[in-house]
Structure 1
Amino acid sequence: MSKALYIAEKPSVAQEFAKALKINGQRRDGYLESDTSVVTWCVGHLVTMSYPEKYDMKYKRWSFDTLPFLPRDFKYEVIPGVQKQFQIVKGLLNRPDIETIYVCTDSGREGEYIYRLVAQMAGVKGKKEKRVWIDSQTEEEIMRGIREAKDISEYDNLAASAYLRAKEDYLMGINFSRVLTLRYGNSVSNYLSSKYQAISVGRVMTCVLGMVVRREREIRSFVKTPFYRVVSSIVLEGEKFEGEWRAVEGSSYFQSPVLYKENGFKKKEDARGLIQSLSSVQPLSCTVEKVERKKENKNPPLLFNLAELQNVCSKLFKISPDETLAVVQELYEKKLVTYPRTDARVLSTAVAKVISKNISGLQNYGPAADAAKEALSMGTWQTIAKTRYVNDKQITDHYAIIPTGQGLGNLKGLSLTSQRVYETIVRRFLCIFYPPAVYQKVSIVTRMGNESFFSSFKVLVSEGYLKIAANSFARKKASDTEGRAAEGKSEEDSEDVACDAALLGALQKLKKNDILSVDSLNIKEGETSPPKRYNSGSMILAMENAGQLIEDEELRAQIKGSGIGTSATRAEILKKLFNIKYLSLNKKTQMITPTLLGEMIYDVVNCSIRQLLNPELTASWEKGLTYVAEGSITEQEYMDKLEHFVRIRTNQVEASNYQYALRQFFDASAQYYKKPERSTRSASSGKQGGKSS
């Protein structure tokens, strides 16, 4: 009797498939079996690309003579530590009674790659292979995925892009790391008085290093500039409010060179001069020139993708992106949330049709039970497909991270941080079924002589979704701050001043040409701020947006798909940069800074392969992989471009000679560090080969 084989990426996932398939058969060594089905698993990657010395022992020694290394056919091998499981999987894949193979690895590029390598090494032939593509690990979703499984050939383009991504990282990593180490490794190690220093570079990690170093140098070179604003203190029915002077058209200072900006002076004496000229007429008063009242709706934010969740968790819980990924992966495996490695922040129309199931399940989740009940009773879920929260065009592999409404019993066994991350995901999800928050805005322009003063007020008149946005564990005083962080917003997002009901009532009565008394005119001193350092969350957002830290979610949507790395790899890339001591992470603040070694590597790359530091170029490589996955360009076209890039740049570095210039750059950075950081030879450099000559 023929059987079906289900191959998952991890043992825990295989267990969920076995439960869904009602496999009560025996647990064997490395698989589960019943009368009709067999379930087995990989343990992450079972197969990897071979080191250059497996092609020829001459490549073991790092030498200019063997560069660039561009093999015609790539070699692969089973990872030594997982040989046993590979042999078990290989045996099952080729078992005569196995007729159909259901590929149940993670639904994404990397999951596709994991299986394709195993099938390639196992020599699978003559079997039906079907791809199971699921968005969560609930029993219902697993069975849907099996039912609707497509022939694996439909994912050949995705597999091609996965192979190319690995080849790209391999070829750039090996060729550029070797050639830079051979040419400049001694310059780095001699300067640091350390042992042999391998220079580790990569398509994505070097670009990220460049972003951090450039930001640090911008901060260092920043010179604070003082500026002086003039404000009026205006009296209204016993209340006071401020007006900010601006040099608009008609002002005596319009476009004057003494201005820092439209609303301030470079020198204090000029601000005093303005106050003196305005104070010539006593008592001080102003005329209302313009009053504008309007209501402003603030919509709930879009749902979480992985980058947005990592950004929010960095702010709320001070955890790093790889910790966030580990937490949300655990929530996924416990059936609590949908697939985490997603770039989408919207739902699909198919999911929107059945979204009431997710909400219904959350009625049993204590911290948000009332919110879920209210969301259901309002009935907005019935028309959610017509809103900005549902858009099939903005989804590539998976829709946004949302709660499944299931698996709630698993919450008790999770860490406090995991429980809090789950609540954050739940609240972001439920918010989209609530109405917008409504603010009353009042904008006033007052005049004193030729000079205009501006005031703006904002009062929340209807909470809308905000009443459920803040987490239950937030301290009362911090709840607004936390709510803003959970929405991915900063304190500086709003220039409007909050005001109480009494002042708002008085403002509502104001009309044009009213004359108000001015209590005083004052100077407010400020100074320009340096750029902010990246924290682990803002770094992930900057990577998602090709090096631009874009807070505005609509702008982010416009350049979607142009990021550096992918949602699945960004956290791991940052972690590697911390591990090889190119970057430092302050665990308390999650702030990222370069090390001296990191700055030195930046200078080496900046002199020799500057393109690796360019976020837009790095993003364009990622976009190219997307084109391969979509079938827009062929695998060969991409490979030709890649080999040309590697060959040209490798030869350029070999011909370069920047040792003298680099010494000056190293000196310029070293002054900001107490002492040179002694660097030990990394394990990875040991694997790659011998010393540079």
Structure 2
Amino acid sequence: MSKALYIAEKPSVAQEFAKALKSGGQRRDGYMESDTCVVTWCVGHLVTMSYPEKYDLKYKRWSLDTLPFLPRDFKYEVIPGVEKQFQIVKGLLNRPDIDTIYVCTDSGREGEYIYRLVAQMAGVKNKTQKRVWIDSQTEEEILRGIREAKDISEYDNLAAAAYLRAKEDYLMGINFSRVLTLRYGNSVTNYLGGKYQAISVGRVMTCVLGMVVRREREIRAFVKTPFYRVMSSIALEGESFEGEWRAVEGSRYFQSPVLYKENGFKKKEDAERLIQELSMGQPLVCTVEKVERKKENKNPPLLFNLAELQNVCSKLFKISPDETLSIVQDLYEKKLVTYPRTDARVLSTAVAKEIYKNISGLRSYPQAGEAAQGVLELGTYKNIAKTRYTNDKQITDHYAIIPTGQGLGALKGLSLTAQRVYETIVRRFLSIFYPPAVYQKVSLVTKIQNESFFSSFKVLLSEGYLKISTNSFAKKTAADVGKASEGEGEEVSCDEALLAALQKLKKGDILNINGLGIKEGETSPPKRYNSGSMILAMENAGQLIEDEDLRSQIKGSGIGTSATRAEILKKLFNIKYLSLNKKTQVITPTLQGEMIYDVVNCSIRQLLNPELTASWEKGLTYVAEGSITEQEYMDKLERFVRLRTKQVEDSSFQYALRQFFDAAAQFYKKPEKPAVAKPTKKPDRKPE
């Protein structure tokens, strides 16, 4: 009797498939088997690309003579530590009684690559292979994925993109790291002292290093500029509010060179002169020139993709993107949330139709059960497919990260941080079914003589989604968060008494001035990246835009993928090119990192360019979509590697680099060299 084989990416996922299939099979060494099916697993990657010396022993020694290294056919090998599991999987894939293979690795490019390498090394032939593509690990979703599994050939373009991504990282990493080390490794090592180290570069990691170093140098070069604003204190029915002077058309200072901007002076004396001029008339009064009142709706934010979740968790919990991914992956494997490695921030039309199931399941979640019940009573979920929160065109592989409404029993066994991450996902999800927050805005222009003063107020009238969007563990109330987060520019909150008085104002009213004063300020340097804003910058090809609406307008690919960004940052910390403050999550370069930046900047500057790196990622997307062929991409890649490797071979910037190293080193403490104890007697032999 023939059987079906289900192959998952991890043992825990295989367990969920076995449960969903209700196979009642026996546990064997490396797999489970019943009368109808066999379930097995990889342990992440089982197969990897071979090092150059496996092609020819001559490549073991790093030499310019053997560069560039561009193999015609790539070699692969089983990873030694998982050889046993590979042999088990290989045996199952080729067992005569297995006629259909269901590929159940993670539904994405990397999951596709993991299985394809195993099948390639195992020599799978003459088997029906079907791809299971799921968005969560609930029993219902697993069974749907199996039922609707497509022939694996439908994913050949995705697999091609996965192979190319690996080849690209491999060829750039090996060729550029070797050629830069051979040319400039001694320069870096001699300057730093200590043990000789190879220069490590990569398609994405070097670009990220460049973003951090450039930002740090912008901060160092920044010169603070003081400025002085003239403010009026205006009396109104026992209350008072401020007006800010601006040199608009009609002002005696309109487009004057003494201004810093239209609302401030470069010198304090000029601000004092204006106050003196305006104070000539007594009593000091102003006339209401213009009053504008309007209501403003603030819609709930879009749902979480991985980058947005990593950014929020960095701010809320001061955890790294790598930690966030680990937590949300665990939530996914415990059936609590949908697939985490997604770039989409919306729902698909198909899932929107069934979304009441997710909401219903959350009614028994203590932290937000009432909010979920409220959504069901409102009935707003019925129209969610017609809103901006559902858009099939914005989804490539998976929709946004949302709670499944299942698996709540597993929450007690999770860490406090993991429980809070889950609550954050739940509240963002439920928010989209609630009405917008409503604000009353009042804008006021008053005049003293011919000079205009501007006041702006924003008051929260109706909390809307803010009522349920704030986490239970947050210190502020929903209303406070709304006021704090929504107040933009110079808009300020005001109490009910002042709002009532403002509502009565009309053009031509004359108000008393309590006094005129000066507010001193100074320009601020650019902010350093933190682990969350860095992920967003990578998502948007280096454009640090934290506002979600602006981000959605940025078209093009990011640096790396949702699945790889956290790992890239982690590697840069591990090789000590970047430093992470674990308390604040702020990222800064190390001296070594700055030196590597200078080496690359002098030799392969293109590697530091976010747009170039993003264009390679876009190319992989084109391969996955079938817009360009694998060979077209590979030809372009080989040309790039060959040209840039030759460029470094022909370069000689050792002496020029010294001045760059010196310029960076002044901002770092020189490492103290360990004292060497003098030997008490002559050693028997020379040290090796």
Class of the TM-score when normalised by the shorter of the 2 chains:
over 0.9
TM-score (norm 2): 0.97
Contact 2:204 2:559 (8 Å CA) reproduced = yes
Which of residues 553, 563, 567 is equivalent to 2:562?
A: 567
- Cα deviation, 1:478-504, whole Å, max 9, x if unaligned, reads x667779xxxx9687453100000000
State the alpha-carbon separation in 2 of the partners of residues 415 and 263 from structure 1: 50
- Cα deviation, 1:91-121, whole Å, max 9, x if unaligned, reads 0000000000000000000000000000000
Contact 1:316 1:482 (8 Å CA) reproduced = no
1:29: how far off? Answer: 0.3
Contact 1:192 1:677 (8 Å CA) reproduced = no
1:354 aligns with 2:349: no
State the alpha-carbon separation in 1 of the partners of residues 578 and 562 from structure 2: 20
Paired residue for 1:212?
212
State the alpha-carbon separation in 2 of the partners of residues 3 and 494 from structure 1: 66
1:32 aligns with 2:17: no
Structure 2 vs 1, CA of residues 41 and 560 (structure 1 numbering), >3 Å: closer, same or farther? Answer: farther
- Cα deviation, 1:126-155, whole Å, max 9, x if unaligned, reads 000000000000000000000000000000
Contact 2:175 2:641 (8 Å CA) reproduced = yes
Aligned residue runs from structure 1 range 188-227, under 5 A: 188-227=188-227
1:554: how far off? Answer: 2.5
- Cα deviation, 1:497-545, whole Å, max 9, x if unaligned, reads 0000000000000000111111101000000001000000000000001
Which structure 2 segments of 5+ residues have no match? Answer: 675-688
Aligned residue runs from structure 1 range 645-664, under 5 A: 645-664=640-659
* Higher mean C-alpha deviation, range 248-257 or range 420-429: 248-257
The secondary structure found in structure 2 opposite 1:461 is: strand
Which of residues 499, 506, 509 is equivalent to 1:504?
A: 499
Aligned residue runs from structure 1 range 108-127, under 5 A: 108-127=108-127
- Cα deviation, 1:390-420, whole Å, max 9, x if unaligned, reads 0000000000000000000000100000000
1:610 aligns with 2:605: yes
Which of residues 600, 620, 625 is equivalent to 1:630?
A: 625
State the alpha-carbon separation in 2 of the partners of residues 265 and 153 from structure 1: 67
Where has structure 1 moved over 2 Å in runs of 4 or more?
Answer: 479-484, 489-495, 558-561, 676-679
Structure 2 vs 1, CA of residues 462 and 491 (structure 1 numbering), >3 Å: closer, same or farther? Answer: closer
* Higher mean C-alpha deviation, range 202-211 or range 491-500: 491-500
Paired residue for 1:553?
548
The secondary structure found in structure 1 opposite 2:641 is: helix
1:476: how far off? Answer: 3.8
Contact 1:301 1:428 (8 Å CA) reproduced = yes
State the alpha-carbon separation in 1 of the partners of residues 461 and 482 from structure 2: 17
Contact 2:216 2:588 (8 Å CA) reproduced = yes
State the alpha-carbon separation in 2 of the partners of residues 415 and 483 from structure 1: 28
1:193: how far off? Answer: 1.1
Paired residue for 2:660?
665
The secondary structure found in structure 2 opposite 1:111 is: helix
1:581 aligns with 2:571: no
1:591 aligns with 2:551: no
Contact 1:471 1:483 (8 Å CA) reproduced = no
State the alpha-carbon separation in 1 of the partners of residues 481 and 651 from structure 2: 51
1:475: how far off? Answer: 1.9
Contact 2:467 2:479 (8 Å CA) reproduced = no
Letter in 2 for 1:322: D
1:465 aligns with 2:453: no
Which structure 1 segments of 5+ residues have no match? Answer: 680-693
The secondary structure found in structure 2 opposite 1:401 is: coil
Paired residue for 1:309?
309
1:536 aligns with 2:531: yes
Letter in 2 for 1:21: L
- Cα deviation, 1:343-378, whole Å, max 9, x if unaligned, reads 000000000000000000000000000000001100
Letter in 2 for 1:26: Q
State the alpha-carbon separation in 2 of the partners of residues 273 and 482 from structure 1: 40
Letter in 2 for 1:248: V
Letter in 2 for 1:402: I
Contact 1:338 1:403 (8 Å CA) reproduced = yes
- Cα deviation, 1:224-264, whole Å, max 9, x if unaligned, reads 10000000000011110000001111111111111111110
* Higher mean C-alpha deviation, range 467-476 or range 661-670: 467-476
Paired residue for 1:390?
390
Structure 2 vs 1, CA of residues 69 and 220 (structure 1 numbering), >3 Å: closer, same or farther? Answer: same
1:363 aligns with 2:363: yes
1:163 aligns with 2:163: yes
Between 1 and 2, higher relative CO (CA 8 Å, sep ≥ 6) is seen in 1
Paired residue for 1:600?
595
State the alpha-carbon separation in 1 of the partners of residues 322 and 196 from structure 2: 30
The secondary structure found in structure 2 opposite 1:672 is: coil
1:519 aligns with 2:511: no
Letter in 2 for 1:179: V
State the alpha-carbon separation in 1 of the partners of residues 647 and 21 from structure 2: 57
Letter in 1 for 2:601: N
State the alpha-carbon separation in 2 of the partners of residues 190 and 347 from structure 1: 55
State the alpha-carbon separation in 1 of the partners of residues 398 and 490 from structure 2: 37
Paired residue for 2:683?
none
The secondary structure found in structure 2 opposite 1:530 is: coil
The secondary structure found in structure 1 opposite 2:145 is: helix
Paired residue for 2:69?
69
State the alpha-carbon separation in 2 of the partners of residues 293 and 678 from structure 1: 68
Paired residue for 2:412?
412
State the alpha-carbon separation in 2 of the partners of residues 466 and 76 from structure 1: 53
Paired residue for 2:300?
300
Paired residue for 2:614?
619
Structure 2 vs 1, CA of residues 490 and 608 (structure 1 numbering), >3 Å: closer, same or farther? Answer: farther
The secondary structure found in structure 2 opposite 1:119 is: helix
Paired residue for 2:13?
13
Letter in 2 for 1:177: S
Structure 2 vs 1, CA of residues 480 and 507 (structure 1 numbering), >3 Å: closer, same or farther? Answer: closer
Structure 2 vs 1, CA of residues 65 and 491 (structure 1 numbering), >3 Å: closer, same or farther? Answer: farther
1:561: how far off? Answer: 4.6
1:285: how far off? Answer: 0.7
- Cα deviation, 1:273-305, whole Å, max 9, x if unaligned, reads 111111111111111110000000000000000
Letter in 2 for 1:127: K
The secondary structure found in structure 1 opposite 2:99 is: strand
- Cα deviation, 1:576-619, whole Å, max 9, x if unaligned, reads 00000000000000000000000000000000000000001100
Structure 2 vs 1, CA of residues 158 and 561 (structure 1 numbering), >3 Å: closer, same or farther? Answer: farther
State the alpha-carbon separation in 2 of the partners of residues 659 and 483 from structure 1: 55
Structure 2 vs 1, CA of residues 331 and 150 (structure 1 numbering), >3 Å: closer, same or farther? Answer: same
Structure 2 vs 1, CA of residues 677 and 48 (structure 1 numbering), >3 Å: closer, same or farther? Answer: farther
Paired residue for 1:454?
454
Contact 1:48 1:76 (8 Å CA) reproduced = yes
